Amino acid sequence: MTSGDRPTGDDGGRAAGQTSEASTLSALLMASAGGDRAAFGRLYDLTSARIYGLALRVIRDVHYAEEVVQESYLQYWQKADQYHPERGSVITWMMTIAHRRAVDRVRTEELQQRKAAEYGAGNASTPHPIPLEVVVDREETRALRTCLDRLTELQRASIEMSYFSGMTYPEVAAVTATPLPTIKSRIRDGLRNLKKCMHGESDG
């Protein structure tokens, strides 16, 4: 039997490592909530590479990614006492916050660029109406955001990372320290609920 035929040992070791890391991060965040700056520094050392990697993947700009990391860690420090284990692991909580900040930064930059373009093209003497397809897109985007907010926090974070940031399922599993089958199931269930919501269906 080759090493490829023996996944149990590797999987068991990986799972044990993830459990150990989860416990460490949880303890550090709890200490940070109590004002322990040394613990927060250790939390930063253990997680900053992943937070930066996620931010850079979403924004694709080194400078902005670094800013998002700084903003995210400030939020971690300020809201450490608001973390609830039942909502997922510490790293999932941290990645979710960083991902949202990165997406918000992208939207802000896109909005500023669009306004600049509109201003530059505003030489016409009469204002032109907003194209219907833009209005429809905005309405669909608003509905999508509303439906995403109705998902569980774990489902929403996994879907946003996978479909809005282009991360593969294994990558989502890796950055959130979650088993791949769990990620697949979480995204599948989340997409099912999202589709029902977008079509105006209720859960009964």
CATH number where 186 lies: 1.10.10.10
187 shares its domain with 116 = no
- Residue 14 resides in a domain: no
Q: What span, in angstroms and rounded, lies between the C-alpha atoms of 104 and 161?
A: 14
Query: For every one of its 204 residues, what pLDDT tens digit does the chain have, with 9 covering 90 and above?
Result: 444 444 445 555 555 556 688 889 999 999 999 999 999 999 999 999 999 988 888 888 888 889 899 999 999 999 999 998 877 789 888 988 998 888 888 877 665 555 555 544 554 444 444 443 344 455 666 777 788 888 888 888 888 787 766 678 888 887 777 888 888 888 888 888 888 887 776 544
92 shares its domain with 46 = yes
Answer whether 159's CB lies under 8 Å from 194's CB.
yes
Of the candidates 164, 167, 202, 198, the one whose C-alpha atom is nearest the C-alpha of residue 183 is 167
99 shares its domain with 145 = no
Q: How many helices (H) and strands (E) does the chain have?
A: 8, 0
In a 10 Å sphere around its CB, with 0-12 CB exposed, 13-18 middle and 19+ buried, how is residue 29 labelled? buried
**Number of domains into which the chain is organized:** 2
- Residue 6 resides in a domain: no
Answer whether 50's CB lies under 8 Å from 91's CB.
yes
- Residue 5 resides in a domain: no
Query: Which structural domain range is residue 114 located in?
Result: 23-121
- Residue 190 resides in a domain: yes
